[in-house]
Amino acid sequence: MKNKKLYLPALLAVCVMIAGSCGNAAQTAQSTQTAAETTTTAQEQTTESEVTTVPETEETTTTTTADEAPVFTGGYETAEKEFYRDGKKIAGKLFMPNGSGNFPAVILSHGFGANMSNVEGYAKAFADEGIAAYIFDFIGGGNDIQSDGEMKEMSVLTEAEDLNVVFDGVAALDGIDPDKMFLMGESQGGFVSSYVAATRPDDICGLVALYPAYSLQDDSWQRTPDINDIPETMNIMGKTLGRIYNYDAMSFDIYDMLPDYDGKVLLIHGTADNLVPLSYSERAAETFPDAELITIEKAGHGFGGKAFREAAQLAVDFVKGLI
The band of 143, judged by pLDDT with boundaries at 50, 70 and 90, is: confident
Q: For Cα atoms 63, 65, 66, give the angle at the middle one, nearest 5 degrees.
A: 135
Pairing of strands 132-136, 88-100: antiparallel
Q: Which amino acid does the sequence have at 213?
A: A
Question: What's the confidence (pLDDT) of residue 7?
Answer: 35
Q: Which amino acid does the sequence have at 90?
A: I
The dihedral of CA 135, 140, 144, 148: what is its sign? positive
Residue 297's contacts (CB-CB under 8 Å, 6 or more residues apart) are 270, 271
Q: pLDDT by residue (tens digit) across 155-197?
A: 999 999 999 999 999 999 999 999 999 999 999 999 999 999 9
Question: What's the confidence (pLDDT) of residue 38?
Answer: 39
DSSP 114: -
Indicate whether 2 pLDDT > 60.
no
Pairing of strands 176-186, 103-109: parallel
Give the residue-averaged pLDDT of 91-115: 98
Q: In CATH, which superfamily holds the domain spanning 72-320? A: Alpha/Beta hydrolase fold, catalytic domain (3.40.50.1820)
Q: pLDDT by residue (tens digit) across 110-119?
A: 999 999 999 9
Indicate whether 275 pLDDT > 60.
yes
Q: pLDDT by residue (tens digit) across 12-35?
A: 333 333 334 465 544 444 443 444
Indicate whether 10 pLDDT > 70.
no
DSSP 225: S
Indicate whether 63 pLDDT > 60.
no
Residue 252's contacts (CB-CB under 8 Å, 6 or more residues apart) are none
The band of 72, judged by pLDDT with boundaries at 50, 70 and 90, is: very high
Least confident of 27-41, 88-102, 222-236: 27-41
Measured over all CA atoms, what is the biggest interatomic distance in the chain, rounded to whole angstroms? 76
Residues above pLDDT 70, as percent of the chain:
79
Question: What's the confidence (pLDDT) of residue 22?
Answer: 64
- Provide the 10 A C-beta neighbour count for residue 54: 12
Indicate whether 120 pLDDT > 80.
yes
Give the residue-averaged pLDDT of 76-81: 98
**Mean pLDDT of the residues in the chain:** 85
Pairing of strands 36-37, 51-52: unpaired
Question: What's the confidence (pLDDT) of residue 67?
Answer: 56
Residue 238's contacts (CB-CB under 8 Å, 6 or more residues apart) are 113
**DSSP H helices in the chain:** 8-19, 25-28, 120-128, 156-171, 188-199, 216-223, 243-249, 254-257, 278-287, 305-320
Please name every residue paired with 186 in a beta bridge, in sequence order, or none if there are none: 210
Question: Long-range contacts: 4-7, Cβ < 8 Å, 24+?
Answer: 4/51, 4/53, 5/53, 6/51, 6/53, 6/62, 7/53, 7/60, 7/62
Question: What's the confidence (pLDDT) of residue 55?
Answer: 39
Kind and range of the H or E run holding 209: strand 206-210
Please state, in angstroms and rounded to a whole number, the distance separating the CA atoms of residues 212 and 192: 9
Least confident of 27-31, 280-284, 319-323: 27-31
Q: Which amino acid does the sequence have at 133?
A: A
Give the residue-averaged pLDDT of 194-209: 98
Residue 232 · residue 242 · CB < 8 Å: yes
DSSP 201: G
Indicate whether 76 pLDDT > 50.
yes
Domain ranges of the chain: 72-320
